[in-house]
């Protein structure tokens, strides 16, 4: 498997071979993504690889949660170097912070970085591996300067599978069958959820279509990715919305059935003090 190394540095001045826009951009914080290799130039990079590089860089900047939108502002002659800056000049400070965060993610080989940033770094490394190595650089005033360093692609972290079960309340709004799989749609106060279900529960959901229901749902997700958890319906029953007073009375009955006695007056004095 090809392995691309990442070189990160912050030079003090632009090269003479840079495009004419360098003078203007040198006053703004920029992130330079370069494919380093013998004889590599913009013309050697295919349109497909270039598109992947641009998308991955946009994804990497976006993973820092910055509001600054990156734009390609320059392509440097003499290597395949692509210069990115904030689309709007008033976002330069935010872009500088995002570029520094990107540098930190890459230096740590993705350890502790958001999954979105790890995937973006891996995409950039795969593009560079076809031509040489990947260089990331922070240029110009306004961005924190860094010493040059060489790092490997993101660590292949081992994901941990987590499973949880919860109870949801809402209205059954759909039941679908796709080949041998069944899907049930539940509309809750937080939005519409779709979950897998057995044939038995799907039929039960069909009987409750348009009615409120209490659903017991199992979720499964992996810590290595930020993909949405897969939801599975494991129990379903009809449910009627009750008022807050009715709900409190139900809780009180359950407490009394459990043999627990609560002195309301004593609890009130303990919480609010005795003002008598």
Residue 200: domain span:
161-241
Q: Are residue 165 and residue 37 in the same domain, yes or no?
A: no
Give how far Cα 88 sits from Cα of 74, 84, 94, Å.
Answer: 15, 12, 10
138 shares its domain with 165? no
**122 plus 66 within the same structural domain:** yes
Average pLDDT score over residue span 78-99: 88
Question: For residue 159, what pLDDT is reported?
Answer: 56
- Is the pLDDT at 82 greater than 50? The verdict is yes
Torsion of CA 59, 37, 80, 149, to 10 degrees: 50
Domain shared by 129 and 168, yes or no: no
State whether the Cα torsion 88-89-94-95 is positive or negative. Answer: positive
How confident is the model at residue 194, as a pLDDT? 93
Together in a domain, 27 and 135:
yes
**Mind listing the pLDDT tens digit for each residue in 133-159?**
777 776 654 445 554 444 456 666 555
Q: Is the pLDDT of residue 105 over 90?
A: no
Most confidently predicted of 14-18, 19-23, 228-232: 228-232
Query: Would the pLDDT of 206 be above 90?
Result: yes
Sort 194 into a burial class: Cβ within 10 Å, 0-12 / 13-18 / 19+.
middle
DSSP 68: P
Percent of the chain with pLDDT over 90: 27
Q: Which of 123, 151, 179 is the last residue of a domain?
A: 151
> Does residue 146 share a domain with residue 11?
yes
Please say if the pLDDT value at position 172 is more than 80.
Answer: yes
Residue 257 belongs to a domain: no
Residue 39: half-sphere exposure toward Cβ, Cα within 13 Å: 2
Over 50: is that where the pLDDT of 15 sits?
no
- Residue 94 pLDDT greater than 80, yes or no: yes
Cα Rg, the chain, nearest whole Å: 28
Predicted confidence at residue 223, as pLDDT, reads: 59
Q: Which residues contact 229 (CB under 8 A, 6 or more apart)?
A: 219, 220, 221
Mean pLDDT computed over every residue of the chain: 78
| Segment 106-121, tens digit of pLDDT | 888 888 888 888 888 8
Same domain for 23 and 144?
yes
Rounded mean pLDDT of 224-234?
A: 74
183 and 231 together in one domain: yes
The pLDDT assigned to 185 comes to 95
HSE-up of 246 (CA within 13 Å, CB side)?
Answer: 4
Based on the structure, what is the number of domains in the chain?
A: 2
Query: Is residue 22 domain-resident?
Result: yes
- Residues 243-251 have a mean pLDDT of 75
CATH number of the domain within which 179 lies: 2.40.50.140
For residue 202, pLDDT beyond 60: yes
Q: Is residue 137 in a domain? A: yes
Q: Which residue has the tokens 């497909």?
A: 48
Give me the helices (H) in 130-230, please: 199-207
Would the pLDDT of 92 be above 70?
A: yes
Domain shared by 147 and 88, yes or no? yes
The CATH number assigned to the domain holding 90 equals 3.30.70
């Amino acid at each position: 498997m090809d392995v691309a190394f990442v070189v990160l540095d912050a030079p003090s001045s632009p090269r003479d071979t840079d495009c004419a826009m360098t003078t203007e951009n040198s006053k703004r914080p920029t992130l330079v993504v370069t494919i380093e290799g013998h004889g590599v130039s913009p013309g050697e990079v295919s349109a497909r690889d270039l598109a992947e590089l641009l998308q991955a860089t946009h994804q990497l900047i976006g993973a820092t949660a910055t509001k600054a939108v990156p734009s390609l502002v320059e392509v440097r002659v003499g290597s395949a170097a692509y210069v990115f800056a904030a689309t709007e000049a008033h976002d330069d400070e935010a872009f500088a912070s995002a570029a520094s965060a990107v540098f930190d993610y890459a230096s740590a080989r993705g350890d502790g970085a958001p999954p979105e940033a790890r995937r973006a770094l891996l995409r950039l490394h795969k593009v560079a591996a076809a031509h040489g190595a990947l260089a990331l650089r922070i240029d110009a005033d306004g961005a924190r300067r860094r010493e040059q360093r060489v790092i490997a692609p993101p660590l292949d972290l081992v994901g941990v599978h987590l499973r949880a079960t919860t109870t949801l309340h809402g209205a059954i709004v759909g039941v679908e069958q796709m080949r041998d799989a069944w899907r049930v749609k539940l509309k809750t106060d937080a939005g519409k959820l779709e979950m897998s279900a057995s044939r038995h529960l799907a039929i039960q959901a069909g009987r409750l279509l348009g009615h409120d229901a209490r659903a017991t749902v199992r979720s499964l997700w992996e810590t290595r990715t930020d993909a949405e958890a897969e939801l599975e319906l494991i129990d379903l029953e009809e449910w009627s919305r009750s008022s807050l007073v009715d709900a409190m009375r139900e809780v009180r009955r359950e407490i009394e059935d459990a043999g627990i006695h609560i002195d309301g007056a004593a609890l009130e004095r303990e919480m609010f003090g005795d003002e008598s």
